[in-house]
A and B are shown apart, each in its own frame.
Chain A
Amino acid sequence: MAVTYKLIDKVILSANQASVTFSSIPSTYTDLSISASIRTTQANVYGSMKLQLNGSSLSYTSREITGDGASATSTSRTIVDNGLFTGNADGASATTNTFSNANIYIPNYLSSNNKSLSIDTVMENNATEAYAYMITGLWSNTSAVTSVTFAWSASNLLSGSSFYLYGISKS
């Protein structure tokens, strides 16, 4: 059978910038998978990352499990800074050269149903503040996903951050 886990696009930042968008995502796959390595210029240890589908700022909900090294908690959210919360990313005060990782899976991104997402994120830091996230996200919109945008609300994504978009086909 055909190999069906294919790189659609990648972005590796050579300069700080406010957001990264994968646009014109082809309609030839079944699912999407995104691997991201992110650090920001925020003057803090961390801050929340957001994701937008098709540039929409509406109709996102999520629930998450967060581990901080001492306990596990669960939180539900609606829209965070005009997008879907995908976990915290390292800021300028985090351990040098440390980037957060995020894996995002979007099944049936072309379907005419709402889109459910699976998100796993780690924000590591060789100090007291570090977090691991498991997140379930829902975009209550029946449009096919044609673009995905990552942004950091308070500042820029740091040079060296990387984003890889893969397409997975069931046939």
Chain B
Amino acid sequence: MAATYEPIATQTLGSATGSVTFSSIPSTYTDLILIFNGGADGSGINICARFNSDTGTNYSTTRLMGNGTTATSDRVTSGSMIYGTVLSNATLNSNAIFQINNYSNTTTYKTCLIRTNATEVRLSATVSLWRNTAAISTIVLSPEFTGNFTSGSTFTLYGIKAA
């Protein structure tokens, strides 16, 4: 893995921003890793993503979450985005790690693993499905496509090659 872990693009927000887009993702890698560090301007807002700007109800998500008191699990089917969990409110104290395996194949639907860490609120492990066989060339991230990421939030997309 170490020999093929390459940065594709990175963004740092200079102001509160509703969404962040990585477009024209090359198909030359095997897997993608996206690292987020930041927060959302508001309480109880989940980090979410869409692929190839698809706004249809073509996503499903299953989450395992813990808030420091109880562990729970929930599920969304036919959603219009995939879900991590709640981010820190107006601080840069949370992070999320997206792992998208085999993102450029054109045969299978795409799955995504997300670890979201917001120590002040909760943490989660998520598995999501995008019911589309297209290669992923665009990733759009947003606090539920209604809120803003906190200024100073950072996003970096890495590509991993199997060979």
List A residues at the B interface (Cβ < 8 Å).
1-7, 30-31, 61-66, 71-76, 105, 107-108, 111, 113-114, 116-118, 120, 134-138, 166, 168-171
Contact = CB atoms under 8 A, between A and B. Distances in A.
Contacts of A6: 2
A51 to B, nearest CB: 14
Given A113-B92, A116-B119, A138-B93, A63 B67 contact: yes
Nearest to A64: B66
A116 B93 contact: yes
Given A4-B6, A134-B125, A65 B91 contact: no
Contacts of A63: 66-68, 119, 122-123
B42 interface: no
Interface in B1-42: 1-8, 10, 35-37
B5 A3 contact: yes
Given A65-B64, A75-B68, A113-B92, A136 B152 contact: no
A3 B123 CA distance: 30
A74 B91 CA distance: 23
A105 B98 CA distance: 13
Contact of A114 (B4, B67, B92, B122): B92
B60 interface: no
B66 A74 contact: yes
**Which 3 residue pairs spanning A and B have beta carbons closest together?**
A76-B68, A74-B66, A5-B5
A135 B93 contact: no
B146 interface: no
Nearest to A6: B2
B117 A116 contact: yes
Given A65-B64, A118-B97, A136 B2 contact: no
Given A5-B5, A74-B69, A116-B37, 11 more contacts: A61-B120, A62-B119, A63-B123, A75-B68, A107-B154, A108-B37, A111-B37, A114-B93, A118-B115, A134-B115, A170-B7
28 contacts: A1-B6, A2-B7, A5-B1, A7-B2, A30-B156, A61-B120, A65-B64, A65-B65, A65-B66, A65-B71, A72-B71, A73-B66, A73-B70, A74-B68, A107-B35, A107-B36, A107-B95, A113-B92, A114-B92, A114-B93, A116-B37, A116-B117, A120-B115, A134-B66, A134-B115, A136-B123, A168-B158, A170-B156
